Chains A and B, each alone.
Chain A
Amino acid sequence: LAKTTQPISMDSYEGQEVNITCSHNNIATNDYITWYQQFPSQGPRFIIQGYKTKVTNEVASLFIPADRKSSTLSLPRVSLSDTAVYYCLVGPANTGFQKLVFGTGTRLLVSP
């Protein structure tokens, strides 16, 4: 299983861009990088998934360098409602979720 390392917490202000980096040095060739968001007392919510280079959707962007040993989740112009825990998961796609491990995540606090 690929081990991931993320900052425990980050602080930001409304309107700023937030970048959360995840380190995954032992990522395997068939592994994807997936990010989830979790609000207090709710289940996690899928944000974005990527394999290489850059992926963008209406919520976030995911940047993956060529060596794939790290990835950066970018949240443009955050608001108070983006305060949540963000999890980086690394593992193969569609082969069963036992290989996708949620760590302790990054606790993002957005202030006015």
Chain B
Amino acid sequence: ETGVTQSPTHLIKTRGQQVTLRCSSQSGHNTVSWYQQALGQGPQFIFQYYREEENGRGNFPPRFSGLQFPNYSSELNVNALELDDSALYLCASSHRLAAESNEQFFGPGTRLTVL
């Protein structure tokens, strides 16, 4: 069984640029969530996708957007990058119908540095 994978591992961008991060969910999972983790902090929920639709969003501006594809892979897009966007971006997959479970499977993350 393949776990959650993310690409790229590291990325350096400059302020104002746009970035796309990619995630491949664990086999059989139909829900993906994206998190931002600043240094020394816990992960912060950005949004969640289920069946290609966003169905939950944290306190992040619209320049953070996402996509989920029929094969349950997903993308996180960030426009107009700001210095504070520098962080580890994590995706996590889970099965929507996993009864009474808050178990998510996280990928290793993409380290984004904005200069």
Contacts and interface: CB of A to CB of B under 8 A. Distances in A.
Contacts of A46: 102-105
Contact of B45 (A87, A101, A104): A101
A41 B106 contact: no
Contact-residue bracket for chain A? 20 to 34
Contacts of A93: 99-102
B98 A42 contact: no
Nearest to A97: B33
A102 B99 CA distance: 21
Given A93-B100, A93-B102, A101-B45, 18 more contacts: A32-B100, A43-B4, A43-B90, A44-B92, A44-B106, A49-B101, A87-B42, A93-B101, A94-B96, A94-B99, A94-B100, A96-B55, A97-B45, A97-B56, A98-B45, A100-B102, A103-B42, A104-B40
Interface of A: 32, 34, 41-46, 49, 85, 87, 89, 91, 93-94, 96-98, 100-105
Interface of B: 4, 33, 35, 40-45, 47-48, 55-58, 88, 90, 92, 94, 96-109, 111
